[in-house]
Amino acid sequence: MTCAAENHDYDAPEFKAMVEALLRAIKSEDKNLRAAAGAALVYDEHSTVFFEHLHEIVPALISSFDTDLLIDRRNRGGPAECVMIVIWLHLDACVGERFSYYELENQWSKQPQPTWDPALEKRQAWRKFVTDKRSDHNALRAYWEAWWKEHANLSAVEIGVLMIERSLRILAANTMPDHETYSMAAEWCLQKWAGPGVAVGDWAKWWEGNKQSYRGPVKRQR
């Protein structure tokens, strides 16, 4: 369980105990445990735990993102959640001047794709992907590590300002390849950092009126 059952449960002792346990787990020497706990801490779109513990969570995600861990989600018919992708998406939303994972994904789409045996079990196929793309993953890690090292001394609010303004620039740049994909990523990033109550498409106007008073996202209303 990584989400509150009800909106008011975010202040419940049980939810706080779960968050504390996950925060301990992201300090583990076991990369897969760090990855699973880090993904759980950012998975709930209604929670602001990622913002409140940004300086603990981001390094854990960067250090463990190249995992081949898959998590079975109920009623999905088997392994359905690639933890690595969950981490990639959230790091792109929290780190960097650009969407570096999406850029890499676009490069992959233009390259010949490996032919996998249709009978290859999903876990094996995912492990093969992680191994085959190791050099790309190392470059991605190096970029995120360098950005975080330069900006880790900033507060969560200051990082939020950078991420919001970066996403607004991406939304305004209609000339980049696959702009629709980048725009969707930018919209999602803005929703994550802004909190509820901002209509899609009104981001620039909202930011003009709220930049000076921005203190981070607030808890979502379900």
pLDDT recorded at residue 20 = 95
**Residues 110-165 pLDDT 10s:** 655 555 555 556 667 767 777 777 888 888 899 999 999 999 999 999 999 999 99
Q: Tell me, yes or no, whether 102 and 161 share the same domain.
A: no
148 in a domain, yes or no? Answer: no
Q: Tell me, yes or no, whether 112 and 27 share the same domain.
A: yes
Q: Which helix (H) or strand (E) holds 109?
A: helix 100-109
Q: Tell me, yes or no, whether 180 and 128 share the same domain.
A: no
208 in a domain, yes or no? Answer: yes
DSSP state at residue 72 = E
Q: Tell me, yes or no, whether 130 and 90 share the same domain.
A: yes
Q: pLDDT band at residue 53, thresholds of 50, 70 and 90? A: very high
71 versus 219: the higher-pLDDT residue is 71
Q: Tell me, yes or no, whether 15 and 101 share the same domain.
A: yes
pLDDT at 34 over 70: yes
pLDDT recorded at residue 32 = 92
169 in a domain, yes or no? Answer: yes
pLDDT at 52 over 80: yes
Residue 79's SS3 state is strand
Q: Point out the domain boundary residue: 141, 164, 181.
A: 141
Tokens of 87: 């981490």
Mean local confidence (pLDDT), 84-104: 85
Instruction: Provide the number of structural domains found in the chain.
Output: 2
Q: Tell me, yes or no, whether 28 and 108 share the same domain.
A: yes
What residues make up the domain containing 77? Answer: 1-141
pLDDT recorded at residue 78 = 46
pLDDT recorded at residue 222 = 41
Report the 10 Å Cβ neighbour count for 208. Answer: 9
120 in a domain, yes or no? Answer: yes
